[in-house]
Structure 1
Amino acid sequence: MSEERYKKAFPVSWDQLHRDAKALAWRLLESGPFNGLIAITRGGLVPAAVIARELDIRLIETLCISSYDWTQQGGAAVLKSLSDAVDLRGKGWLIIDDLVDTGRTAKIARELLPEAHFACVYAKPEGKPMVDSYITEVSQDTWILFPWDSEVQYVQPLAVRGQTFGISDK
């Protein structure tokens, strides 16, 4: 993680992610019905499973786009595209991702499927204009720590360690 870019952490538990994905499904009820769902891998897989269940969607595709790892964000690349089952413009389809950050991944998905409804659980200001629906907005300088990227362990209180997320307050 870049010290300049992330000043705060927003840890998300499995329970919270499930609640937030279900809340997104409630919001999406108004926008459907959908022909199918496209999960942006890997982060969109878990929320997509919850949302597909809640919206009773059985046709699920994946769009594999790689844009960053936990240390840095770089250029985005499509690793796997969609099958012929998906309308070429995405009409009637729902795209799900866990997070829209800078919007780089979302931009690629939008270019491939401009008529699809794009929804994510969490949104940051830079990427927010790229999605149609989201549940929670966090600041651009916040690292969202998803449950699949973390383990439970003891952490010193902020007052004791005098820092936020391992980055000194300067």
Structure 2
Amino acid sequence: MTDRLPHEKGFHISWDQIHRDSRALAWRLDGNGPDNGAWRAVVAITRGGMAPAMIVARELDVRTVDTISVVSYHSGGGAADQRREAKVLKSPDPEIMGDGTGVLVIDDLVDSGKTLELVRELYPNAHFATVYAKPEGEPQVDDFITGVSQDTWIFFPWDMAMQYVKPYRGTD
């Protein structure tokens, strides 16, 4: 099977797995904030970063949570020919952010790194963490849990529905 479509090299993430991996990210970040190990706030990059950010904020007992909305893909997904210049649609509260010191910026995945590059320019002292990372984006993230190859498509649970899938071989 060498003639796979790009999305067929898939890494399927369940709700249980994203929860476990997000908790692992929280454990990695615990005690590493600038205020005696504490973090002031968590900012989720919408939409994918919202579930991991909620879990990280809960685990680290951070009550100040906000979002930043950045768009960098057309509706077709993340293929290179479908990417566009990253653009901020909604910013977090400026009083929360400042220059980013003590703020965790959380996303589900760093792919090309363009989204995090833009947010890092806005908040240079924030700490950037993702649950999953591809090689092109790794330089933009301070912490992540699982690395995947650049050509792997991650199927997140919020993008999936349960349905029958034919086996690779055979008829049942």
Counterparts in 2 of 1:107 and 1:88: CA distance versus 1, 3 Å: same
**Unaligned ranges ≥5, structure 2:** none
CA distance in 1, matches of 2:162, 2:87: 32
Match of 1:66 in 2: 71
Of 136, 150, 156, 1:126 maps to 136
In 2, Cα distance between the equivalents of 1:39 and 1:49?
Answer: 8
SS at match of 2:21: helix
What is the identity, as a one-letter code, of the residue corresponding to 2:153?
W
Residue of 159, 166, 169 corresponding to 1:149: 159
Question: What is the identity percentage for the equivalent residue pairs of Structure 1 and Structure 2?
Answer: 53
Q: Paired residue for 2:85?
A: 75
Q: 1:47 Cα deviation (Å)? A: 0.4
Matched, 1:43 2:43: no
Alpha-carbon shift at residue 83 of structure 1 (Å) = 1.2
1:103 aligns with 2:103: no
Structure 1: stretches of 5+ with no match in the other structure:
162-170
Contact 1:97 1:119 in 2 (8 A): yes
Instruction: Show the counterpart of 1:91.
Output: 101
Q: How big is the shift at 1:153?
A: 1.0
Deviations along 1:58-101, whole A, 9 cap, x unmatched? 00111110112443332211001121222431011110000000
Q: TM-score, normalised by structure 2?
A: 0.86
Query: What's the TM-score, normalizing by structure 1?
Result: 0.87
Aligned length, in residue pairs: 159
Deviation at 1:50, TM superposition (A): 0.4
Whether the aligned pair in 2 keeps the contact of 1:91 and 1:115 (CA below 8 Å) is yes
RMSD over aligned Cα atoms:
1.7
Structure 1 residue 141 displacement after superposition: 0.3
Letter of the structure 2 residue corresponding to residue 76 of structure 1: A
Q: CA 1:67–1:105 in 2, change beyond 3 Å: closer, same or farther? A: same
Q: Distance in 2 between matches of 1:60 and 1:109?
A: 16
